[in-house]
Chains A and B, each alone.
Chain A
Amino acid sequence: MKFVTRLLIGTAFGVVLAGSASAAGLTVGFSQIGSESGWRAAETSVTKQQAEKRGIDLKFADAQQKQENQIKAIRGFIAQGVDAILVAPVVATGWETVLGEAKDADIPVILLDRGIDGSPDLYMTMVASDQVLEGKVAGEWLVKDAAGKDCNVVELQGTTGSSPAINRKKGFEEAIAGTSNIKITRSQTGDFTRAKGKEVMEGFLKAEGGGKNICALYAHNDDMAVGAIQAIKEAGLKPGTDIKVVSIDAVPDIFKAMADGEANATVELTPNMAGPAFDALEAFKKDGTVPPKQIITESKLYTPADEPMKVYEEKKGLGY
């Protein structure tokens, strides 16, 4: 009997606590894919930071790369009656039912970083980067840097057939299309990894007269660029000087390379997808402003002029 009383008091206390917490601000559920890459880990920690800064009570669920876990988490959020749900969908299909349930419960859903196949009515908005734009920003940097001089570019592509590889290639090609001095002379896949980036760059260097015919390297991600930088050094050339290096993602290690003068530019794929999502959500809750269906994050260019060591230290803490 005593035990039951204590249990009842405990439960009542818990309910009061939970009530007061949700009164302090919005409660938002976040179903994250997992932590398969450093960028993903950084996205998680930035989302938590953003929520804390705004006084949002964030309920975090890690799906460990499984859609069924995400569906379970979203159903859990609906049952808890959260004010909004953020989802980074692990796959594009199979969301109709569960997002329909969220819609019936009048809980707005915001997609982070990836889209879904299905009716746009299922979600309020999607926050993502423009991968074509990322390639374009990288290309435009090179056009400016080459300043009309002839420049043969070798390209390290991402995993063949993946959407970032296709779009980042397209954007870069669009940027250099108007020029006659910049040409892509070799292009191969480096599978987004350091080891393959290094191996492919070794091949490029041999095939292009020991690197004499290469003016710049464009890598679809920073990891491949870091691998290629080592290959360039081992061939007796200076990366960043003899061969310019431009890549995408802005992970911490590329800033270290930039500080050492071995990389020239990187385009940020920001891990801060939650910031714009929370902005849209707060505006919606305040006066019902419906955000556009797609919110594009900024693709910021970083060069050695941007205090790379400082950015490195900042980024290092995000769990990359």
Chain B
Amino acid sequence: MNNSLASGLRRATPQLISLAVILFLNWLAFPGFFDLRIQDGRLFGSLIDVLNRGAPVMILAIGMTAVIASKGVDLSVGAVMAMAGAVAATMTVEGYPLMAVILTALAVGIACGLLNGFLVAVLDLQPIVATLILMVAGRGIAQLITEGVIVTFNDPGLIFFGTGSFLGLPMPIIIAALLAIAVILLMRRTALGLLIEAVGVNRSASSYAGINSKLLLIFVYTLSGFCAALAGIIAAADIRGADANNAGLWLELDAILAVVIGGTSLLGGRFSILMSVLGAIIIQAMNTGILISGFPPEYNLIVKAAVIIMILLAQSASFAGIGGLFVRAPSAAKKADAS
């Protein structure tokens, strides 16, 4: 047990160093970065902001990790967020009870995931194309649901999912943490995670070995749809309104990036949900840092790109050895390619 913890930490070294460096830079830019205080019965501070704002991407990344491990990708999560938020807000305005609102919104996400899974597993469409369909159409459907306006609501039950707190922590953090624990247990205390990795490495071989790869693929896309709906509910609850045009816009890319920063290969196979969550935290720490750094906004994207390149380089250097990048040894070059 101790051994596996140590090897896990060793694998996570580049990510942990990246996070530490980003947090240190944030602290340089803004000395009060690590200050925490209690405000209205909950913790309040920049660190909490990082976790709280990062929660939707963390939740998306949890589902995305499973999809990517199966050698797929789910581009529709941002649009599914918008749809789930639109459904939740519209139903709340029409006076449905909270339970019905949440269950319907989650059901929308599950239905979207089933559709994606059906297209990929049964019709054998390329995942990137199959989920692109819903990425485009989903936002349109969300706009139809909200009729092109921002649907605002004041129901304290739904708002609680975005801005409420439990044990001093904002609800989005609690939800993301609970979901991460549940999915990790599901993946690692059963054979499920191993089977998904097997399908990701070689689908036909795993089928011959007796794994029901169709069902597994449908499962991972459904999980991703469920996660997206959950993130959509949180995003809508946070601003007390469903903004079909902007909710979850481009977040699918952030989620994929979080998974990649976490070290899961886009080619499928071995995955780590905890590392993807860490990846999401790294991205948000960087975003929050940029916001409080006082740079003019014209530099936001450049700074972001530069930091991401550094993080990914740090990971690949730890693989190939920094020298390996410059030496034309066949093995090192091959490793650098692979990373």
Instruction: Give chain B residues whose Cβ lies under 8 Å from the Cβ of A28.
Output: none
Query: Considering the complex, which residues of chain A in the window 1-53 have a beta carbon less than 8 Å from any beta carbon of chain B?
Result: 35-38, 41
| B150 and A206 form a contact (CB under 8 A) | no
Given A188-B291, A193-B246, A235-B39, A206 and B46 contact (CB-CB distance below 8 Å): yes
Given A206-B32, A234-B163, A198 and B292 contact (CB-CB distance below 8 Å): no
**A-side binding surface: helix, strand, loop or mixed?**
helix
- Residue-wise interface mask of A (191-211) relative to B, using a CB-CB cutoff of 8 A (1 in contact, 0 not): 101111011101110110100
| B240 and A230 form a contact (CB under 8 A) | yes
Instruction: Give chain A residues whose Cβ lies under 8 Å from the Cβ of B291.
Output: 188, 199-200, 203-204
Query: Considering the complex, which residues of chain B in the window 283-298 have a beta carbon less than 8 Å from any beta carbon of chain A?
Result: 288, 291-292, 294, 296-298
| A194 and B297 form a contact (CB under 8 A) | no
| A195 and B148 form a contact (CB under 8 A) | no
A310 within 8 A of B: no
- Residue-wise interface mask of A (222-239) relative to B, using a CB-CB cutoff of 8 A (1 in contact, 0 not): 010011001000111000
B155 within 8 A of A: no
Give chain A's interface residue range (CB within 8 Å of chain B).
35 or more
Partner of B238, one of A37, A189, A198, A209: A198
| B243 and A194 form a contact (CB under 8 A) | yes
Instruction: Give chain B residues whose Cβ lies under 8 Å from the Cβ of A187.
Output: 296-297
A320 within 8 A of B: yes
- In the complex, number of A-B residue pairs with CB atoms less than 8 Å apart: 84
Partner of B40, one of A194, A227, A236: A236
Nearest CB in chain A to that of B46: its residue: A206
B206 within 8 A of A: no
A319 within 8 A of B: yes
| B292 and A195 form a contact (CB under 8 A) | no
B235 within 8 A of A: yes
Question: How many angstroms between the C-alpha atoms of A186 and B296 in the bound complex?
Answer: 9
Partner of A235, one of B33, B44, B148, B243: B44
Query: Considering the complex, which residues of chain B in the window 198-250 have a beta carbon less than 8 Å from any beta carbon of chain A?
Result: 235, 238-241, 243, 245-247
**5 tightest A-B CB contacts, nearest first:** A203-B291, A189-B297, A207-B292, A194-B239, A193-B246
- Which B residues fall within an 8 A CB radius of A? 30, 32-33, 39-40, 44-46, 49, 53, 148-150, 152, 163, 235, 238-241, 243, 245-247, 288, 291-292, 294, 296-298, 300
Would you list 26 pairs from A and B whose C-beta atoms are within 8 A, ordered by A residue? Answer: A36-B245, A38-B150, A160-B297, A161-B298, A187-B296, A187-B297, A188-B297, A191-B246, A193-B246, A194-B243, A195-B238, A195-B239, A196-B246, A198-B238, A199-B49, A200-B291, A203-B288, A203-B291, A206-B32, A206-B45, A206-B46, A230-B163, A236-B39, A236-B40, A236-B44, A319-B148
